Amino acid sequence: MGLLLLATLLLAACSRPAPPQPPLPPVLVVHPEPGAGAEVAAFAGEVRAREESALAFRVGGQLLRRYVEVGDAVRRGELLAELDPGDLRLQVQAAQAQQAAADAELARAGAERARFARLAREQLVSRSALDAQQAAYAAAAGQAKAARASLEVARNQAAYTQLRAPRDGAIATRQAEAGQVVAAGQPVFTLAGAAGREVAIALPEVGIREFRVGQPAQVELWNAPAQRLRGTLREIAPAADPQTRTYAARVALDDAAAAAVELGQSARVYLAGGDGAQAALSVPLAAVQRGPGGTTAVWVVDPASHRLRLAPVQLGAFGEDRVPVLRGLHGSDWIVAAGGHLLREGQLVAPVDRANRPIKQNPPKPAH
């Protein structure tokens, strides 16, 4: 009887529902802002491919057909369009006939040279006659070589009637239609390479020397204003545009950031002038914590896992309510703005912004 009662109690305990998991503690997170001591300018731009190629035929002719549309992804070597090859095929046939005639003439000259060589050994012909046959054979050999080269050129010209993709990418624009007569070198497609994404901007003439290649930048997409992507100023034109009087520049996105953008998207690029680029960020005073060994640090929240990480930082001179960050943070980081003394390394939290909106839906559950 006692055993039966014990088994009943154990079954009742096992069937009891597990206690609900405690909710994750909410924390207020913000992005680092431009530092008060750094002049940060914003420039409107457009997401472009690092490699943009205007594709054209190397010969002219009538566009017979095209095989791709705008937006299609293509692979290297894929056939994009084709010209009418009729005339160029006839040129190949003519070159083949010329080569056949040249080869026949070379064979005849070779036989004559061999016959005159035998006669010369028997002293039946003069040395000058043999030399003439040698020269005739050399001339025939040159003609045959020239005919073979002409045939190769004609074959290359016929192959140029097919336009193929030079690299992986996507068709960005189309400038010709089937039935249109195009000239050699006339653009037919624009190919946006698959590797690398950049933001094209224009820098003003005033203060152009304050910007430099390799300078860090922050990119904000028009459709994602709360997200800052990391980039680097990769290129600055050496001369100003004669009409706009601005310098064309390219901001290269990091690999992780490049995967989050699409070609043609509108973006805003934030750049700090001069040497203030390293001090272009600042955080609230309440975000600063004491790190190991007496160092300074801030809590950074991983938006994917919602785990906390104590990031060491190098600070500048303290202000009334903010402090500049010289090293250790990026503009895209989410940092805890207050209450950091109650948190611990690796803790799961529910980050929210100043409007009390969660940074990410469905946060992970704490492990047991």
Give per-residue pLDDT as tens, 133-170: 889 899 989 999 999 998 999 898 888 899 999 989 88
Q: How many CA atoms lie within 13 A of 82 on its CB side?
A: 11
Give per-residue pLDDT as tens, 53-79: 899 999 999 999 999 998 888 999 999
Give per-residue pLDDT as tens, 311-362: 898 877 677 788 888 778 887 889 898 888 888 888 888 888 877 777 764 4
* Close Cβ partners of 84 (under 8 Å, ≥ 6 residues apart): 61, 62, 64, 161
Q: What is the mean pLDDT of residues 212-233?
A: 84
Residues linked to residue 219 through DSSP beta bridges, in sequence order: 229, 269
Percent of the chain with pLDDT over 90: 21
**What are the Cα distances from residue 35, in Å, to 295, 301, 319?**
21, 21, 10
Query: 56 with 185: CB under 8 angstroms?
Result: yes
pLDDT, position 317: 67
Distance CA 239, CA 242 (A): 9
Q: What is the mean pLDDT of residues 93-109?
A: 90
pLDDT greater than 60 at residue 172? yes
Percent of the chain with pLDDT over 70: 87
For the chain, the average pLDDT equals 83
**What are the Cα distances from residue 213, in Å, to 17, 273, 330?**
61, 12, 18
Give per-residue pLDDT as tens, 240-294: 999 989 999 999 988 777 877 888 889 888 887 544 444 567 888 888 988 887 7
Q: Which pair of structure tokens corresponds to residue 145?
A: 């070589």
Q: What is the mean pLDDT of residues 43-57?
A: 89
Strands 26-30 and 350-352: parallel
Distance CA 52, CA 40 (A): 30
Q: What is the mean pLDDT of residues 220-227?
A: 79
